């Protein structure tokens, strides 16, 4: 399948694996790229730019296909060494960066002068247009159903994607709630040029996370996510568990007086414990509503192969059948 996204990134299928903290390591990024999609390493999972350089080199040993790096701009008191990470990306010969969390303008000139294409992930048409206006090459439009940070507007993809298509000139991919061929074909119908998946890739054989994480996603339904940190305007969609329900209780009790320190026990330092050690109930970790559509733990190649085969069938048989007046 050819779209503006496959052409922009030099990939075979219009499928991107979104950056995921403590998940976006070389094993997963390489598996996605080897299967013809675009795999992404997650920069901030590496404790320093030097570690990111090593991870890029490790990933390059596992694939000769293009792969990228996610660079997330977090609200933080002492920001990570972003210029250092950007340098590691450029010197590592990376050609695609997914930015997220905040406006990437400051780093665009350096990245683009080095021939890096930038896809900015955002959760509103307003921010997508801003990304287009500052010169981003593409955007990833992340709807309300997404795992991770859906923003504060709460617009689901059935509305957000066609709205983005009405306004944007640069290519965009649909993100949030994407799981299979139906997601891909629907996204293309709504004007996107491909799709980005997070939670679905977490439940694959190559995802370098503890088996408990994959089983938790398998067991979850579309009703099992919660929105936390809304009072701090840093909303995150996470899988529910006892720690998350405790966190929500604190949010109800403390109301507008709540501060980050009040919920730190449930959110700080949680990712390595969950992803590496398999302690899935220790705190809040991102997961999308799409968990309800995840019923197996396939190899990445199998998943992407199935999506592309089924998408072809939906387009050529089901949809063409309707258009031709067949049932
Ligand atoms: C466990 C997990 C960790 C994530 N970490 C990040 C991150 O560090 N940076 C980022 O930009 N997005 C992060 N995301 C969001 C994904 O890249 C992607 O946008 C989102 O998962 C799409 O929604 P979906 O889960 O419904 O596919 C994370 C998602 C998950 C599930």
Exposed/middle/buried for 61, CB within 10 Å: 0-12, 13-18, 19+?
Answer: exposed
Domain ranges of the chain: 4-198, 211-289
Q: Which DSSP letter does residue 93 get?
A: T
CA dist 20 and 239 (Å) reads 15
Among candidate residues 197, 176, 196, 190, the one with its CA nearest the CA of residue 123: 176
CA of 325 to the centre of ligand 1 (A): 40
Q: Is 36 in the pocket of ligand 1 (CB under 6 A)?
A: no
Q: Is 198 in the pocket of ligand 1 (CB under 6 A)?
A: yes
pLDDT value at position 77? 76
Q: Is 183 in the pocket of ligand 1 (CB under 6 A)?
A: no
CA of 122 to the centre of ligand 1 (A): 12
Identify the residue whose tokens are 């090593």: 54
Q: Is 142 in the pocket of ligand 1 (CB under 6 A)?
A: yes
pLDDT value at position 327? 77
β-strand pairing of 96-100 with 117-122:
parallel
pLDDT value at position 81? 97
Residues of the chain with confidence (pLDDT) below 50: none
The string of pLDDT tens digits covering residues 100-141 is 999 999 999 999 999 999 999 999 999 999 999 999 999 999
Q: Are 60 and 88 in contact (CB under 8 A)?
A: no
Show the tokens assigned to 3.
């779209």
Torsional class of 101: left (φ above 0), alpha (ψ -120 to 50), beta (otherwise): left
pLDDT value at position 74? 85
Please tell me whether residue 24 adopts helix, strand or coil conformation: coil
CA dist 265 and 193 (Å) reads 40
Q: Is 120 in the pocket of ligand 1 (CB under 6 A)?
A: no
pLDDT value at position 162? 98
Show the tokens assigned to 303.
């998943």
CA dist 197 and 297 (Å) reads 15
Q: Is 199 in the pocket of ligand 1 (CB under 6 A)?
A: yes
pLDDT value at position 158? 98
Q: Are 119 and 137 in contact (CB under 8 A)?
A: yes
CATH number of 4-198: 3.20.20.70
CA dist 322 and 27 (Å) reads 41
Q: Which atom of ligand 1 is nearest to the CA of 289?
A: 26
For the chain, what is the radius of gyration of the CA atoms?
A: 19
Q: Is 177 in the pocket of ligand 1 (CB under 6 A)?
A: yes
Q: What is the helix (H) or strand (E) element at residue 263, kind and residue range?
A: helix 260-267
Nearest CA to ligand 1 atom 11: 100
Q: Is 40 in the pocket of ligand 1 (CB under 6 A)?
A: no
CA of 95 to the centre of ligand 1 (A): 21
CA dist 199 and 214 (Å) reads 10
């Amino acid at each position: 399948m050819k779209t503006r996204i496959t052409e922009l990134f030099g990939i075979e299928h219009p499928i991107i694996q979104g950056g995921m903290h403590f998940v976006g390591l070389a094993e997963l990024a390489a598996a996605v790229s080897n299967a013809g999609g675009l795999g992404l390493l997650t920069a901030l999972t590496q404790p320093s730019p030097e570690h990111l350089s090593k991870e890029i080199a490790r990933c390059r040993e596992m694939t000769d296909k293009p792969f990228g790096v996610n660079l997330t701009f977090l609200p933080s008191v002492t920001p990570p060494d972003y210029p250092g990470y950007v340098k590691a990306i450029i010197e590592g010969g990376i050609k695609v960066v997914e930015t997220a969390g905040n406006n990437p303008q400051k780093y665009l000139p350096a990245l683009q002068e080095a021939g890096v294409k930038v896809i900015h992930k955002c959760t509103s048409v307003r921010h997508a247009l801003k990304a287009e206006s500052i010169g981003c090459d593409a955007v990833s439009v992340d709807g309300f159903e997404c795992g991770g940070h859906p923003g504060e507007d709460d617009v689901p993809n059935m509305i957000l994607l066609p709205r983005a298509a009405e306004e944007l000139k640069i290519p965009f991919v649909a993100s949030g709630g994407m799981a299979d061929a139906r997601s891909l074909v629907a996204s293309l119908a709504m004007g996107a040029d491909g799709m980005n998946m997070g939670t679905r890739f977490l439940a694959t054989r190559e995802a370098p996370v503890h088996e408990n994480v994959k089983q938790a996603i398998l067991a979850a339904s579309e009703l099992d996510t919660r929105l936390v940190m809304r009072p701090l305007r840093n909303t995150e969609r996470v899988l529910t568990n006892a720690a998350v329900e405790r966190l929500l209780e604190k949010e109800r009790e403390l109301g507008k007086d709540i501060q980050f320190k009040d919920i730190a026990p449930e959110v700080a330092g949680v990712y390595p414990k969950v992803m590496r050690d398999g302690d899935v109930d220790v705190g809040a970790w991102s997961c999308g509503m799409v968990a309800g559509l995840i019923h197996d733990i396939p190899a990445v190649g199998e998943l992407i192969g199935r999506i592309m085969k089924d998408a072809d069938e939906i387009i050529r048989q089901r949809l063409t059948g309707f258009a031709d007046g067949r049932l």
